[in-house]
Amino acid sequence: MGYTDAMQYWVFKSEPGAYSIEDLRRDKATFWDGVRNYQARNFLRDGVRVGDQILFYHSNARPPGVAGIAEVSKDGSPDPTQFDTQDPHYDAHSKKDKPRWYGVTITFKERFPEVVSLAQLRTEKKLRRMTLLQPGQRLSVMPITRDEFVYVCTLAHT
DNA sequence: GCCAACGTTGGC
DNA sequence: GCCAACGTTGGC
């Protein structure tokens, strides 16, 4: 990564029952697979780069919210689960020479002392424009600004 | 468990 | 290309 690279910031969502920040702490790194939405796929394939910073969000949790931080450690590559007939994310329409779905590798950085809840995020005026908080926003991978990333980290340590 | 907001599928 | 039906997401 050179000095000219502009670091980017993202929210990755996961249901903690499926894969939590604690799982990532245990594994140290993981391939982020199973994303089956084209807009999120485009981010993973074309936007997310090594060194980018990630807010790790727990969805369908009590409470839902940001549980910690991860960092991208490998650029996008084809998601192997799309070719695995035994995997719930198998996609019969995807071809090996033209993969439809991508994932990146992320590395554990930090588990917050407490989850910064969605409810708290909504009370923060500085986060009003954050993609995560927009009505109907359901993407599992979405971009945020550096300021938003830093601010959520501050909240986690206050 | 409910349901609103989306995305996808498939008939036409 | 339209759009109704259906499936999924995810907060509450």
Q: How confident is the model at residue A87 (pLDDT cuts 50, 70, 90)?
A: confident
- CB of A134 within 7 Å of some strand C atom: no
| Strand B, CB < 7 A, residues 39-68 of A | 39
Q: Which amino acid is at A119?
A: A
Q: What is the pLDDT of residues A121-147, one digit of tens each?
A: 999 999 999 999 998 888 999 999 999
Share above pLDDT 90 across residues of chain A, in percent, rounded to a whole number? 83
Kindly state the average pLDDT of the residues A65-89. 93
- CB of A133 within 7 Å of some strand C atom: no
Of A68, A36, A53, A69, nearest in space to A139 by CA: A36
Of A66, A49, A57, A64, nearest in space to A9 by CA: A49
Nucleotides of chain B touched by protein CB (<7 A): 5-8
Q: How confident is the model at residue A88 (pLDDT cuts 50, 70, 90)?
A: confident
Nucleotides of chain C touched by protein CB (<7 A): 8-12
- CB of A18 within 7 Å of some strand C atom: no
Of A31, A42, A47, nearest in space to A101 by CA: A42
- CB of A59 within 7 Å of some strand C atom: yes
Q: What is the pLDDT of residues A15-37, one digit of tens each?
A: 999 999 999 999 999 999 999 99
